[in-house]
Structure 1
């Protein structure tokens, strides 16, 4: 007997003797479904006030719960006393949750859950509440639920047990493929919107610069360039000295130089004209901002309509999800609010 086979015997003995792998896999599915049910009902009601289909996958399953339950059953069921079993199980499940959080963030660029508002949290990835719930759940699994489940599975014909396990495994793989495709579509559409927003910002800045230059007389433009050079030289001298008091004094000096330079080249007679031009520019900016907001609302509505519920459900399943690369776009376009309205219909 190989060492690998010998190491597997205690693990397989903890399942259905005639079909150990199938028994363990079906146990994994049962606890994954129970975890999904808990997240979608109790947790969703506490966080959102309504039922929400939780989890990364499309189907009613949260694999992290199944993995944690089986890990506790396989490795911690022999602990005789309840308190040590509770503590070790809570630590094991929190370590698993932390590792999965880091892995998902590294592979998808998103933070799917955040416990920063919970007491005794570690980097927002795990918290005391989770530790207590995991520990209690693991004790019940090791002492009540898994022995009862295995007793039921033992009475199921082996062929039927293996057939159910194979079918469910295939369904799980297909679900994962579709879920990844949905995530890819969501990321692609957000990237497209981010690019469009950046292009419009660049165009707006260019137009604003041109309008500003058009409102200023040529002597002021030339004077501003001269003042810029003088200010830049002064800033370089300040940085080389690295004295905070000198830097503060120099900033005031540079600001006064800029004011004096503009006044020198504009002349008192042009100040009223420049103020009027500035007011006109401000009104144009207000109109431009209104047009930009109208365009952004239209673009966000188009994104939501193109993706639909299946691709947008990640925001509904993970209300605290943060996508680092697209967070500014999501907030600016009000994607979360639109998704909330979509799923509350």
Structure 2
């Protein structure tokens, strides 16, 4: 087998395991949350971290056949990769796609025990069962078709990766602008509420001045009615402001963020911006409604 032929087969292996990872992530979310969400970090139906993890296990543990050793080694490799990718995303894009802080036995919220167990078991299955069958299958592909499939899929994945990376890199800037818009809208709502309350207080003073000539009992009754009216105004204004702010924020989310960025926020409920955490919490709440 020539080097080019092997490299092209490796590309197909990587794509296959990346697609399997996407099916696993999306299917698991569908089963546990009864909700269809595209769980890929890229726009296409692939999770590259699964493909990278599988290839690392096949490369680094190529001579390991003991299931226990393979399980432990695979878990360590997978968790190390997951930790590095999480740290790199946060360093480069100021976002965390996943956060296991609330999970038991986690390390800085980037990896946790269940992930170690799942990845260890999955990689062991891949190494002992899936890979021999897959390698045999790709070896039977005629050379011309292997060239077309490998280079075509690699080109599509590269374009997708570039577009997704640009979207992630731009997310922090868009969140910053969105935060300014929301802040401006919030201040506008508060100013309007203050103006309305000032107007209501002025009307109250006017009415009090008019009834001061009346009997004390009538004055007390009027005060009670006015207090009730003011309380109703305040309650209605709070409801209106909250509803208006929600609509404003949701509209801004759809306008200010790209379709890919909104999809990522839907796909990763624990996605948080390290510089705009409160805002991403707010967006998650709105998108889940």
Question: Gaps (5+ residues) in structure 2?
Answer: 202-229
**Alpha carbons of 1:329 and 1:81: their partners in 2 closer, same or farther (altered >3 Å)?**
closer
Aligned partner of 1:298 in structure 2 is 247
- Checking the alignment, whether the CA contact within 8 Å between 2:29 and 2:37 is kept in structure 1 is no
Question: Gaps (5+ residues) in structure 1?
Answer: 1-12, 216-280
Give the whole-Å Cα distance in 2 for the aligned partners of 1:199 and 1:319.
26
- The 3-state SS of whatever aligns with 1:325 is coil
**Alpha carbons of 1:148 and 1:315: their partners in 2 closer, same or farther (altered >3 Å)?**
same
1:139 paired to 2:139 = no
- Partner deviation per Cα, 1:36-67 (whole Å, 9 max, x = no partner): 00000024432x32232102101100000000
Give TM-score scaled by structure 1 length. Answer: 0.65
Cα RMSD (Å) of the superposition? Answer: 3.2
Equivalences, count? 259
Aligned partner of 1:27 in structure 2 is 13
- Checking the alignment, whether the CA contact within 8 Å between 2:29 and 2:35 is kept in structure 1 is no
1:63 paired to 2:11 = no
Give TM-score scaled by structure 2 length. Answer: 0.77
- Partner deviation per Cα, 1:210-253 (whole Å, 9 max, x = no partner): x99xx9xxxxxxxxxxxxxxxxxxxxxxxxxxxxxxxxxxxxxx
**Alpha carbons of 1:283 and 1:43: their partners in 2 closer, same or farther (altered >3 Å)?**
closer
* Cα displacement (A) at 1:17: 6.4
**Alpha carbons of 1:186 and 1:100: their partners in 2 closer, same or farther (altered >3 Å)?**
closer
Within a 5 Å distance, the mapping from 1:1-345 to structure 2 comes to 19-46=5-32, 48-183=33-168, 186-199=171-184, 292-306=241-255, 307=257, 309-332=259-282, 335-341=283-289
- Partner deviation per Cα, 1:77-134 (whole Å, 9 max, x = no partner): 2113211111111111111111111001111111111222322211111111111111
Looking at CA atoms only, which structure, 1 or 2, has the larger radius of gyration?
1
- Checking the alignment, whether the CA contact within 8 Å between 1:111 and 1:322 is kept in structure 2 is yes
Give the whole-Å Cα distance in 1 for the aligned partners of 2:245 and 2:177.
13
Higher relative contact order (CA closer than 8 Å, sequence separation 6+): 2
Give the whole-Å Cα distance in 2 for the aligned partners of 1:292 and 1:149.
59
* Cα displacement (A) at 1:18: 6.4
- Checking the alignment, whether the CA contact within 8 Å between 1:59 and 1:175 is kept in structure 2 is yes
Give the whole-Å Cα distance in 2 for the aligned partners of 1:38 and 1:149.
18
